[in-house]
């Protein structure tokens, strides 16, 4: 039993990572209706900025604050410079632009910082909490805590500020929002900035565990997709819950289902995506879209 619980705890740790990435994906999808393939790479790039700041001698928390500000600005800039020119083009065109961005950012990071792995300072202390035979790493607790904090902040932003209200209006109905005087263009840029900031947080959380290198986020992305699908692509809270479930399910399946083993465990997100979409396409927390023909 202790072994089982231990696996669940480890799954929670992995799940928190997927959740933070899924959160960033969902933020952009909410406002623009597109899936940003470059989300993970942008997060990786932000993490390198943080690494560079630390390497230059800044204390960790100052480096983090600086990185979040730079990422926010960078996210808005990406929307203004790269996405804006194809706004109004077919959806698939925009998706392919993000694929181009993925390839560009990945190669650029390798060019600037090489493909050698870098060690990234862990903001959380080493060691683990011992709870009745189960050990919970401080990093696991820390990652879960930060993701929860980000959730709360986003909730406050959306529900209790004017900007958040405007963003929700744009997400629900862009043309009506425009009519009531909301600057839709800037709101979309704001959405990208916000997503980039959340992505940066997730990158900084992940880097000490996976080690920083340009391909760090590539493997995480599919799990984040599964998490977002499970939770509902238009629900930030759903993304977080989805991420945690995916992490636990994957860990348990890899450990206890003999046939799956560690090599086929990537099949777990596939089954989750497929199952959810067939049974409840809007995800656990998503709204069912009623279309007007």
Partner 1 sequence: MRVSAIGCTALLLLAVAACGGRDSGGTGTTASGQCQGQQTTGITDKSIKLGGIYPLSGPASAYGDIPKGIKAYFDYVNAEKGGIGGRKVEFVVRDDGYQPPKAVEEARRLVEQEQVFALFQTLGTPSTTATWDYTNQRKVPQLFVATGASKWGTDTTHPWTIGWQPNYISEARVYAQYLKTEQPEAKVAVLYQNDDFGKDLFGGFKRAIEGTRVTIVAEQSYEVTDPSIDPQMRNLAESKADVFLNITTPKFGSQALAADAKNTGWNPLHIINNVSASITVLKPVGFENVQGIVSSSYYKDPNDPTWQNDAEMVLYKQKMQQYAPGADPNIPYHTFGWAVANSFHKAMEAAKCPTREGLRDSVRNLQNVPIDMLLPGVTMNTAQGDGFPIESMQLMTFKGERWELFGEVIDTRKEFGPLTG
Partner 2 sequence: MTGRADANPATRDAAPATAAAATGEAGATSVRLFGWDAARWRWVAAAALLAAALYAPFQLIPFHVFQLTMVLVYAVALLGLNLLVGHAGQISLGHGAFFAVGAYAAAILMERWDTPYPLTLPIAAAVAFVLGLVLGVPAMRLRGLYLALVTLAIAIFLVPLLKRFEEVTGGSMGLTLAKPAPPAWSGLAEDQWIYFLVLAVAVAAFLLAGSLLRSRVGRALHAVRDNEIAAEVMGVRLSFYKTLAFAWSAMFAGAAGCVYTWVIGFVSPDSFTVNLSITLLAGLVVGGLGTMAGPVLGALFVMFVPGISQEINDAAPGVIFGLLIIAVMYVAPTGLAGLAGRLIRKIPRKE
Restricted to residues 12-31, the positions that interact with partner 2 (CB under 8 A) are 29
Number of residues this chain uses to bind partner 1 (CB under 8 A) = 39
Contact 199, 71 (CB under 8 A): yes
Give least dist CB 269 to partner 1, A.
Answer: 11
| Interface of this chain with partner 2, residues 200 to 239, rule: CB under 8 A | 222, 225-226, 229, 233
Task: Specify burial of residue 160 (Cβ count, 10 A radius: 0-12, 13-18, 19+).
Answer: exposed
- Separation of alpha carbons 24 and 233, rounded Å: 11
Q: Is 41 in the site for partner 1 (CB under 8 A)?
A: no
Give burial (CB, 10 Å; 0-12/13-18/19+) of 159. exposed
CB 170 within 8 A of CB 30: no
Q: Within positions 133 to 172, which residues make up the interface with partner 1, using CB under 8 A?
A: 137
Give 6 or 52: the residue with its C-beta nearer to partner 1. Answer: 6
What angle (nearest 5°) sits at the alpha carbon of residue 225, between those of residues 283 and 280?
A: 15
Binding flag, residue 201, partner 1 (CB under 8 A): no
The CA distance from 1 to 147, in Å, is: 28
Residue 163 touches which member of partner 2, partner 1, none, C-beta under 5-8 Å by kind = none
Interface segment toward partner 1; rule CB under 8 A; list 42-50, 84-92, 184-192, 206-214: 206-214
Q: Which of 65, 80, 215, 237 binds partner 1 (CB under 8 A)?
A: 215
Q: Does 17 bind partner 1 (CB under 8 A)?
A: yes
Instruction: Give percent helix, percent strand, percent coil of the chain, each to the nearest 5.
Output: 75, 5, 25
| Contact range with partner 2 by CB under 8 A, out of 67-75, 107-115, 129-137, 158-166 | 107-115
Burial class (CB in 10 A: 0-12, 13-18, 19+), 29: buried
In degrees and rounded to multiples of 5, residue 212 shows phi and psi of -85, 125
Nearest to 42 by CA among 98, 121, 97: 98
Q: How far is the CB of 282 from partner 2 (least distance, A)?
A: 10
Q: Which residues bind partner 2 (CB under 8 A)?
A: 29, 35, 37, 82, 85-93, 95-97, 99-108, 110-111, 222, 225-226, 229, 233, 263-264, 266-267, 269-270, 273-274, 277-278, 281, 291, 293
Q: Which residues bind partner 1 (CB under 8 A)?
A: 3, 6-7, 10, 13-14, 17, 103, 107, 110, 114-119, 126, 137, 209-211, 213-216, 218-220, 222-223, 250-251, 254-255, 261-263, 265-266
């Amino acid at each position: 039993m202790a072994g089982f619980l231990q696996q669940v705890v480890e799954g929670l740790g992995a799940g928190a990572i997927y959740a933070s990435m899924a959160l960033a994906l969902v933020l952009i999808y909410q406002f623009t209706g597109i899936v940003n393939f470059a989300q993970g790479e942008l997060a990786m790039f932000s993490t390198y900025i943080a690494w560079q700041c630390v390497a230059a001698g800044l204390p960790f928390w100052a480096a983090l604050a600086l990185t979040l500000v730079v990422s926010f600005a960078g996210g808005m800039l990406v929307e203004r410079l790269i996405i804006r020119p194809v706004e109004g083009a077919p959806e698939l065109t925009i998706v392919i632009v993000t694929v181009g961005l993925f390839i560009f950012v990945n190669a650029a990071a390798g060019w600037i910082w090489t493909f050698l792995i870098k060690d990234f300072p862990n903001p959380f202390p080493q060691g683990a909490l011992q709870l009745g035979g189960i050990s919970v790493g401080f990093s696991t607790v820390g990652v879960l805590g930060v993701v929860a904090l980000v959730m709360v902040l986003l909730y406050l932003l959306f529900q209790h500020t004017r900007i958040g209200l405007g963003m929700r209006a744009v997400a629900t109905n862009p043309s009506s929002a425009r009519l009531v005087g909301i600057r839709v263009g800037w709101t979309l840029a704001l959405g990208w900035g916000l997503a980039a900031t959340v992505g940066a947080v997730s990158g900084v959380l992940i880097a000490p565990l996976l080690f920083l290198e340009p391909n760090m986020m590539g493997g995480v992305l599919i799990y984040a997709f599964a998490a977002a699908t499970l939770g509902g692509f238009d629900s930030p809270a759903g993304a977080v819950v989805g991420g945690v479930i995916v992490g636990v399910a994957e860990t348990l399946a890899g450990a206890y289902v003999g046939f799956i083993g560690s090599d086929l465990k990537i099949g777990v997100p596939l089954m989750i995506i497929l199952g959810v979409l067939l049974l409840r396409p809007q995800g656990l927390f998503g709204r069912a879209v009623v279309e007007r023909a």
